[in-house]
């Protein structure tokens, strides 16, 4: 493998840091290292940089800077959003069975704290039945939690129609937009989103930093999950990870200016990959083909064990499920919730392309996957 070109097609797990982001971050490790809460000139200078990063991040989702709470990533943001609602009078949560484990496990925790949680199924294509949502939402429901774009299939939900139902019934909308922010236009105002989570490393920023958008208009009173010095409006105490926050801001700025360029290039490569792989009879795409994000393709290779194929691919990095639970022999809970059999779920692989994927890499991947899949079949 050392002599082979590394082909990375697992960008939904994490992305390479854009060199422009890294360059912007570097001075905050060395020269600009003051604490942003210090009152001396150096500290005030850093605080100004943090405020700018908050503006850059907010601008990416059409929010206001004061509505952004920096976290260690989307998982922490999800926990702050869900656990932070424990002080509300309403005690019902509605979510979807195909959500990320960060949502599902936190909801299960809330069930031990007196909350009732409803886990809605999806249609076989991964799209939520809006009529079903309308039926289960009641005057007792506090919040509805749903991904914008699924991390395994890329399926995009009809957020606009969903938010109309929620607003009519005065229910909060927590949107896990981790796989969407930085890739497609996201507007919390027009989409009617009250709480939104994102993570920098999903769109060419550094690992270890993300954000929670908390709508000021919704006047949400969250309980902090990390207490101490009272930083970030007392919602998330602790010394800020300045270099990472600066990186998130820069990644957001680049994304705003490069959304369309990335989409055109990556979608073309994704389509090329699918055309090449689906020439083999019996292979099929999991999830709705029309309503999905442009960089993701989840393909089932019936009769082929996905773990064996991933290992055999060696220098080509792909995934058979969510990166947070990849070390498992269990079938994907997302694909199972969509109605796939254990066998087909265990024969499915997610290909997720990115800004740095090349056409030559796709050619190599198609050839290698087809050759190995044929050998491994049954």
How many whole angstroms separate alpha carbon 294 and alpha carbon 305?
A: 26
The answer to whether residue 324 is catalytic is yes
Q: Are strands 116-120 and 141-147 parallel, antiparallel or unpaired?
A: unpaired
What Rg do the C-alpha atoms of the chain give, in angstroms?
Answer: 21
- How many Å apart are CA 256 and CA 73, to the nearest integer? 20
Q: What is the DSSP letter of 316?
A: E
For 276, residues 6+ apart whose C-beta sits below 8 A from its C-beta are 362, 363, 366, 370
CA–CA gap between residue 342 and residue 312 (Å, rounded): 21
Q: How far is CA 270 from the centre of its chain?
A: 19
- Phi, then psi, of 178 in degrees rounded to 5: -55, -40
Please tell me whether residue 317 adopts helix, strand or coil conformation: strand
Where in the sequence numbering do the catalytic residues fall?
324
């Amino acid at each position: 493998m050392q002599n082979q070109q590394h082909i990375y097609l697992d960008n939904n797990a994490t992305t390479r840091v854009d060199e422009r982001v890294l360059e912007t971050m570097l001075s905050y490790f060395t020269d600009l290292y003051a604490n942003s809460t210090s009152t001396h000139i150096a500290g005030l200078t850093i605080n100004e940089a943090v405020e700018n990063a908050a503006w850059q991040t907010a601008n990416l989702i059409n929010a206001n800077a004061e509505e952004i709470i920096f976290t260690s990533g989307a998982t922490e943001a999800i926990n702050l959003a869900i656990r932070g609602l424990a002080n509300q009078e309403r005690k019902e949560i509605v979510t979807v069975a195909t959500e990320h484990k960060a949502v599902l496990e936190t909801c299960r925790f809330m069930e031990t704290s007196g909350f009732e949680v409803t886990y809605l199924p999806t249609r076989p294509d991964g799209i939520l039945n809006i009529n079903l949502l309308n039926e289960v939402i009641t005057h007792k429901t506090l919040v509805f939690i749903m991904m914008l774009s699924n991390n395994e299939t890329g399926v995009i939900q009809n957020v606009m129609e969903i938010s109309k139902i929620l607003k009519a019934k005065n229910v909060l909308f927590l949107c896990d937009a981790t796989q969407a922010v930085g890739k497609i236009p996201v507007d919390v105002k027009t989409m009617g989103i009250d709480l939104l989570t994102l993570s920098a490393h999903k769109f060419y920023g550094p690992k270890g930093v993300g954000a929670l958008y908390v709508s000021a208009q919704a006047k949400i009173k969250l309980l902090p999950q990390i207490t101490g010095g009272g930083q970030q409006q007392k919602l998330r105490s602790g010394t800020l990870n300045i270099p990472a926050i600066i990186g998130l801001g820069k990644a957001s700025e680049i994304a705003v200016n490069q959304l369309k360029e990335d989409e055109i290039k990556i979608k073309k490569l994704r389509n090329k990959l699918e055309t090449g792989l689906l020439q083999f009879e019996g292979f099929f795409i999991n999830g709705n083909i029309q309503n999905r994000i442009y960089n993701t393709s989840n393909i089932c290779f019936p009769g082929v064990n996905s773990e064996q194929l991933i290992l055999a691919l060696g220098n080509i990095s792909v995934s058979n499920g969510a990166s947070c639970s990849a070390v498992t022999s269990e079938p994907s809970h997302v694909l199972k919730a969509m109605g796939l059999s254990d066998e087909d779920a265990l024969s499915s692989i997610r290909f997720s392309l990115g800004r740095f994927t090349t056409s030559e890499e796709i050619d190599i991947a198609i050839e290698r996957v087809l050759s190995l899949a044929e050998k491994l079949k049954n």
